[in-house]
Structure 1
Amino acid sequence: MNYSRAYSLTEATRKLESYCAYQDRCHKEVVEKLKGMRMIPEAIDVILGHLIKENYLNEERFAQSFARGKFNIKKWGKLRIIRELQQRDISKFNIQIALKEISEYDYARTLDDLAKKRLLQIKETNIHKKRKKMADYLLYRGWESNLVYQKIKELT
């Protein structure tokens, strides 16, 4: 992201409005983008203020769509979603709101579907190795260990 030209405040603002309108962004992404455009800290503050005021930038909305998307599309568990949102400097409050986007029913059903599908893919014959592979797979995706081990016990 090394832009060779300088941007006026108005140009940078318009460019970032498009950037945020295309998909929800977090503050951290927007600040990085503006730094990549070589904007000075004062300009970054002005543009951020404008984007928030005009509702182009909304961390609660970002966190909610991030949680929904990663759960529905990538089948991530809550721990992975929380960790990824924390890396983006999203507040605990907004993370809690985001997690409410995932119903308990869908969460349990998705874990069940994911575990059953993975079980069919593991060709290991040793039951202990098979269970370990299954646990590693689900834990990496951010599913809570108590739910993972409960599901493994139920399915194997």
Structure 2
Amino acid sequence: MFSPKKKKTYTPKEALPKIAAYCAYQERTQNEVRAKLLDYGLELDDAEEIIIRLTQEKLLDEERYAQSFVRGKYGLKRWGRRKIQQGLKAKGISDFCIRKGLQEIDPDQYYENLLHLLEKKNKTEGERNPMARRQKIQYFLQSKGYELDIIQDAWKELGL
């Protein structure tokens, strides 16, 4: 019979270097770190103290996390502002940090990303009816997080 593996619990002193390494590996949110610490078997008060210490030591910085998240999502995945904002809100990031993170977006590069997605989707969209085709492409771009006014500007620029 299979028996579940007993999880090791850590004292706050043992958990600190482990969680510091976890934070050093890549940017983390306070919620991610809190969940990991509770998973280590720590009490909430101990977890909060460790989070404060990590923040003071600059190992945990939600503003930096938001900036990194924005660069990755808009640069690599070509997400729009709205989808990025929703992603950060879902991670429990404050509105202040979200605004700081969104400042990482270069407006020219953002528009280039939109044009690229529009051209690519226009080539692959199988719909023949021009109105339905336009609507499908527009829904796709909105699902990527782009704002309707910018999408319409891109349509006009490409003459589609």
Q: What CA distance in whole angstroms lies between the structure 2 residues aligned with 1:19 and 1:8?
A: 16
> How many residues in Structure 1 have an aligned counterpart in Structure 2?
155
Aligned pairs for 1:31-70 within 5 A: 31-70=34-73
What is the identity, as a one-letter code, of the residue corresponding to 2:124? Q
SS in 1 for 2:127: coil
Is the aligned partner of 1:29 residue 2:32?
Answer: yes
User: Could you list the runs of 4 or more consecutive aligned residues of structure 1 that deviate by over 4 angstroms after TM superposition?
Assistant: none
Q: When the two structures are superposed, what TM-score results if normalisation uses the length of structure 2?
A: 0.91
Cα displacement (A) at 1:153: 4.5
Q: Deviations over 1:72-92 (max 9, x none)?
A: 111100001111111122121
Give the equivalent residue in structure 2 for 1:93: 96
Give structure 1 stretches of 5+ with no counterpart: none
Q: What CA distance in whole angstroms lies between the structure 2 residues aligned with 1:149 and 1:41?
A: 49
Cα displacement (A) at 1:145: 1.5
Cα displacement (A) at 1:5: 1.3
What is the identity, as a one-letter code, of the residue corresponding to 1:40? E
Give the equivalent residue in structure 2 for 1:121: 124
Give the equivalent residue in structure 2 for 1:8: 11
Q: What CA distance in whole angstroms lies between the structure 1 residues aligned with 2:12 and 2:94?
A: 28
Q: When the two structures are superposed, what TM-score results if normalisation uses the length of structure 1?
A: 0.93
SS in 1 for 2:146: coil
State, as a whole percentage, how many aligned pairs show the same letter. 35
Aligned pairs for 1:94-113 within 5 A: 94-113=97-116
Q: What CA distance in whole angstroms lies between the structure 2 residues aligned with 1:144 and 1:79?
A: 7
Q: Deviations over 1:90-144 (max 9, x none)?
A: 1211111111111111111111111111111112111112111111111111111
What is the identity, as a one-letter code, of the residue corresponding to 1:76? W
Give the equivalent residue in structure 1 for 2:84: 81
What is the identity, as a one-letter code, of the residue corresponding to 1:11? E
Structure with bigger gyration radius:
2
TM-aligned CA distance change 1:153 to 1:129, over 3 Å: farther
Conserved 8 A contact 1:25-1:62? yes
Cα displacement (A) at 1:149: 3.0
Give structure 2 stretches of 5+ with no counterpart: none
